[in-house]
Structure 1
Amino acid sequence: MTAMPDFDTQSPAAVRAAIRSGAWRGYTNALARGHVQGNLMIVPAAYADDFAEYCRLNPQALPLIGRGEPGSPRIRAIAADLDLRTDVGGYMVFRDGELVDTPRDIAGEWREDLVAFVLGCSFSFEAVLQAHGVRLRHLDEGNVSAMYVTAVQTKPAGPFGGPLVVSMRALRAADAIRAITVSQHFPQFHGQPIHLGAPGLIGIEDLSQSYGGHGLTQLHEDELPVFWACGATAQMAALQARLPLCITHHKAHMVVTDLPVDDRLPA
């Protein structure tokens, strides 16, 4: 069990410092809730333009927040002190389409030809949903949203393609309607849901079997499963692409940026 933090949990700089030092090893969904969090994807420069095109073709799953320069572990436009080699807290290292390591930092893996991408994450709109009166039971219970691999195929680009991954939230009907109304105004955080109810219609046979084996998976009788496109889609694309090296964040350990989340809806 993760110890209670002794740093300012709502300061993105403090959160990154705690992750960097090893003082925080937990998930980031309850931290820096007024700031944008993102999925991480790092590929060799030879594949970077193809991946950028893959994001363009699949904007609901992969909304681009920031792109680094080759060899740089920093994207100063999203956080001046961010070091993507140490500040994420958990990583997945793929070689030739196989997961080979889940290190706490990737300083030893870093190369001068690597290009980092940060993609929008649904953690960023959970605080927005709550601000607009949507109850998120998984947060009330100290959990995270579950993810699932669907039968829906993404639009391919270069070596990248494969199934859409979704995140699921268990919502009462009124909350589901409100969540759709609110989230459609935040395309940078995946926008509106892609599906609600009947998981089998998108190829999910068993809600108890989540991608990564974590998250709230049990519904109450008065709840519907509501599914949003998820940035973990990039991880499935990395498996299909079989790149010589690809690095992503580990489950629920996101890139914490300095970008503010504006929870206001259009007038």
Structure 2
Amino acid sequence: MRQDISPYDLRQAIRCGEFTGHTSGFAPGFVQCNLAILPADWASDFLRFCQANPKPCPLVGMSNSPGDTALPPLGDIDIRTDVPSYRVFRDGEFSEERTDLSALWRDDLVVFALGCSFSFEEALLADGLEVRNISQGVNVPMYRTDIDCTPAGPFKGKMVVSMRPFKAADAIRAVQICTRFPSVHGAPIHLGDPGLIGIDDLGVPDYGEAVSIADDELPVFWACGVTPQVALEAARPPLAITHSPGHMLVTDLRNSQLAVL
């Protein structure tokens, strides 16, 4: 499938099961979102968790009321079918992956769409920087850290980060570029030694796939929208649904609309 496909056409392909892959590099220019879906009686605490942890959980949109399957500000979306792959958690334990939520949908579920680092990758590429996971055609590597998130009610846990390697001068430029995009994780949270944030081996990511790192490159780490999955595991709601890592909700919102000039 062409990567320059429109968000609408990509969602249609996902909806009918023609596309189930990771979405990095697809529909350039448009915001991609992480996903969290919870019962209404858990939603207010999760909203507070997002507000207390805006780097890993930048809120881009949420459903207007429980049971809504549409997100009108983000496009013609049916949240039950328009993400390539979902993860289902029961009592905090991963249960299954699905490509369609129709059989699981309930009228008390609340949808949260959270900013994704795939959106700022376009700005890095536009500045001439190589984004290694895109050039190598893999899902971005993601790692659990020892950095505590600010708790809210039952939601707590360690931050998950995504990593892209750059030479030192390019890493500085990446910081400058991403600072303009606070709604999609903003500036990196760490550069250099992964051990300082609790990562033992960059060659073994917790999610996604490893990428090559040259001897003269620094690993650069951004807060990652997989963090809510860790918080969901800690909170143990009876039902929670997220995107599968790298398999995002692609919206009609333009990345330029999120930039702070």
Within-5 A mapping of 1:184-199: 184-199=179-194
Shift of 1:82: 0.5
Cα distance in structure 2, aligned partners of 1:199 and 1:158: 30
Matched, 1:149 2:148: no
The alignment covers a number of residue pairs equal to 260
Name the aligned partner's letter for residue 92 of structure 2: G
Residues 62/264 of structure 1: CA separation in 2 closer, same or farther (3 Å cut): closer
Task: Select which of 42, 65, 70 maps to 1:74.
Answer: 70
Cα distance in structure 2, aligned partners of 1:34 and 1:115: 27
Cα distance in structure 1, aligned partners of 2:42 and 2:220: 33
Report Cα offsets for 1:26-59 as digits up to 9, x if no partner: 1111111110000000000001111110000000
Name the aligned partner's letter for residue 194 of structure 1: I
Report Cα offsets for 1:49-93 as digits up to 9, x if no partner: 1111000000011110001020011111111x2011101010000
Shift of 1:266: 6.3
How high is the TM-score relative to the length of structure 2? 0.96
Shift of 1:264: 9.8
Within-5 A mapping of 1:1-267: 5=1, 9-68=4-63, 69-79=65-75, 81-212=76-207, 214-262=208-256
Unaligned 5+ segments in structure 2 are none
Report Cα offsets for 1:153-210 as digits up to 9, x if no partner: 0000011010000000011112111100110110001010000110000000111221
Residues 264/21 of structure 1: CA separation in 2 closer, same or farther (3 Å cut): closer
Cα distance in structure 1, aligned partners of 2:3 and 2:27: 9
Cα distance in structure 2, aligned partners of 1:131 and 1:152: 31
Shift of 1:100: 0.7
Shift of 1:8: 7.4
Name the aligned partner's letter for residue 208 of structure 1: G
Cα distance in structure 2, aligned partners of 1:207 and 1:65: 29
Name the aligned partner's letter for residue 225 of structure 1: P
Cα distance in structure 2, aligned partners of 1:60 and 1:99: 24
Identity of aligned residues (%): 48
Cα distance in structure 2, aligned partners of 1:266 and 1:23: 36
Conservation of the 8 A alpha-carbon contact between 1:128 and 1:263: no
How high is the TM-score relative to the length of structure 1? 0.94
CA RMSD of aligned residues (A): 1.5
Instruction: Tell me which moved more, 18-27 or 192-201.
Output: 18-27
Name the aligned partner's letter for residue 107 of structure 2: E
